[in-house]
Chain A
Amino acid sequence: MLNSILRAGAVISALVMIMILLFLVVESWPVLTHISPLQFFTDDSWHPLEGAYLLMPILAGTLYASIGAMVLAIPLGMASALFIVYYAPPYLALWYKRLIELLAGIPSVVFGFWGLTTLVPLINQIHPPGASLLAGILILTLMILPTITLTAYAAFVAVPDEYLRNATALGMSRWGMIRGVVFPAARAGVVAGIILAAGRAIGETMAILMVAGNVVQYPDSLFDPIRTLAANIALEMAYAMGDHRAVLFVSGLTLMFLVMVLSSMAGWLGKNRHA
């Protein structure tokens, strides 16, 4: 009985996933059949109503923003986790961890609102227009920092005590122990957390829509606006019809593909946990 319930549950969740994928393919099919997929690479611009479907700057914008956020959030997150586990006095560690957990719970639209009313005007004073790749990266960093910190924290805590005792017995310094013992032992958990965070960064919509400027272009600098795949869908879906609607589903497919690559990377790293 229990077995069949569990099996049914598993089948349903798998079906939902497959249905979503199928739905994306079916909805984007009309445009994939009568325009060449090459157009996503070679058109002059993204103006779906004028029949120009250049998707590449949007893909690039998504990757730039996510990678930029990872570059900032990984060191910060690792440092925070190490601080909590090995450096902070217990009472401070507790409060600091609670604060990070709170940061993880802030809804993305609140980040976006704060970014739009505070961060963007601030960046605008340095270099107009303010809404930019930089603003997107900073907001995304704030959003994925707690994910990285908390998963790294869990991985560090899970390192067996005996390893640490042995390291201490060998006379290793605290940093030597962290670098030589803790990092290798916690690697799989930390990497899984980073990939989870990357998935969140790639798929983030509301916050990035509000701060990144949404102009479809390859940015020349951090101060240029960009558009991401998720923001592209949210921005144009409400009023899109016909081919325009279908190409937005193509952005959805592309987004899905990116996340699939990431999650298979996570699976591969999980398999090699003890390698």
Chain B
Amino acid sequence: MLGSKKFLVFCLVFFVLGLMSANAISQRLVLTGSSTVAPLVGEIARRFELLNPGVRIDVQTGGSSRGINDTRNGIAAIGMVSRALRPSENDLHGFTIALDGISMIVHAKNTVSALSRQQVIDIYTGRITNWKAVGGSGARITVVNKAEGRSTLELFLSHFKLRNSQVKPHIIIGDNPQGIKTIAGNPNAIGYVSIGAAEYEAERGVPIRLLPLDGVDASVANVRSGDFPLSRQLNLITRAPPVGLSQRFIEFARSEQVHDLIEAQYFVPIEAN
């Protein structure tokens, strides 16, 4: 009997404590949108919460279009969109927090120095199967593609106007490091990964080479300047010019305090102005 009474008191104490902590959270911010941006914003939000006790930030995914809808309807204070805003969306206010670029990579021993847009498409759809056809040595091409749902895959497909079912891959990989190791271990492979990751590894002597695209070198610098074609903005959007907590969070997400978080996800921080 005594045991169950104690248990009851225990439960009550927990319940009250729970209520108190719920009240202690004075401010709440809801963000929804792109699954590319969400992991990064989640990290930024965690750091923001640490610096601002009493603030609770809720990050939900659902795609860029959900971010736009929720922001328009006021369900979310801030939306996350992994592309530039379209002219039809000029009712919204966009704030770029980072850039995302991907680069075609081949093994360092590969003699092909550049591929045209059409050549990349032909290789990925299986119309070109030998490096000889694009000026390389006579070896079979190993096509490395990303797993379904990855944002890198989405950006790659939309840039080359392909559907994933048209791609004829030989290897499917998950994250960037796995992709880089796969290419580094196979002299005849071609793949694509985030430029940040590829540049980092190539500088450290991993035998991969970043291929220029449409005559523009694949580099973080060219992504930052906006010259590199296979890149996109990662944006936070609001319905009205941000004030209060939203404004503080957006300023924080664009500040140098989060550059390490952005780079850890292989995105490119914007220049501080």
Contacts and interface: CB of A to CB of B under 8 A. Distances in A.
A209 interface: yes
Given A120-B185, A121-B186, A128 B170 contact: yes
Contacts of A49: 148-149, 164
B148 A241 contact: no
A97 interface: no
A209 B174 contact: yes
Contact of A117 (B139, B169, B181): B181
A50 B163 contact: yes
Interface residues on A, range: 20 to 34
Nearest to A44: B165
Contact of A215 (B164, B172, B186): B172
Contact of A52 (B35, B150, B165): B165
Contact of A244 (B142, B148, B181, B186): B148
A130 B148 contact: no
B147 interface: yes
A9 B185 CA distance: 49
Interface in B136-153: 139-140, 142, 147-151
A210 B150 contact: no
A227 B145 CA distance: 14
B178 interface: yes
B97 to A, nearest CB: 19
A49 to B, nearest CB: 6
Contact of A130 (B61, B165, B173, B186): B186
A214 interface: yes
Contacts of B182: 116, 120, 131
Contact of B170 (A48, A121, A215): A215
Contact of A239 (B142, B151, B169, B173): B151
A50 B165 CA distance: 8
Nearest to A121: B185
Contacts of B35: 239, 241
Given A213-B172, A215-B169, A239-B35, A120 B186 contact: yes
A48 to B, nearest CB: 6
A31 B114 CA distance: 44
B189 interface: yes
Contact of A236 (B147, B169, B185): B147
A213 B188 CA distance: 15
B38 to A, nearest CB: 10
A70 to B, nearest CB: 25
Interface string B174-200: 100010011001101100000000000
B189 A240 contact: no
Nearest to B165: A47
Interface in A222-261: 225, 227, 234-236, 238-241, 244
Interface residues of B, number: 28
Interface string B105-129: 0000000000000000000000000
Nearest to B150: A239
A273 B170 CA distance: 46
Contact of A227 (B63, B150, B172): B172
Nearest to B38: A239
B133 interface: no
B226 interface: no
Contacts of B148: 46-49, 236, 240, 244
A166 interface: no
Given A47-B165, A235-B174, A241 B185 contact: no
Given A50-B163, A50-B165, A215 B171 contact: yes
A112 to B, nearest CB: 9
Nearest to B152: A239
Contacts of B147: 214, 235-236
A128 B141 CA distance: 9
Contact of A213 (B63, B171, B174): B171
A206 B151 CA distance: 21
Interface in A193-216: 209-210, 213-216
B164 A47 contact: yes
Contacts of B172: 213-216, 225, 227, 235
Interface string A11-52: 000000000000000000000000000000000111111101
A128 B142 contact: yes
A4 B177 CA distance: 50
The 8 closest A-B pairs by CB, nearest first: A239-B149, A214-B172, A129-B142, A129-B170, A121-B185, A235-B147, A213-B171, A131-B171
10 contacts: A47-B148, A49-B164, A209-B174, A214-B172, A227-B172, A235-B172, A236-B147, A239-B149, A240-B148, A241-B62
Interface of A: 44-50, 52, 116-117, 120-121, 124, 128-131, 209-210, 213-216, 225, 227, 234-236, 238-241, 244
Given A116-B181, A130-B142, A215-B169, 4 more contacts: A44-B165, A49-B149, A130-B186, A239-B35
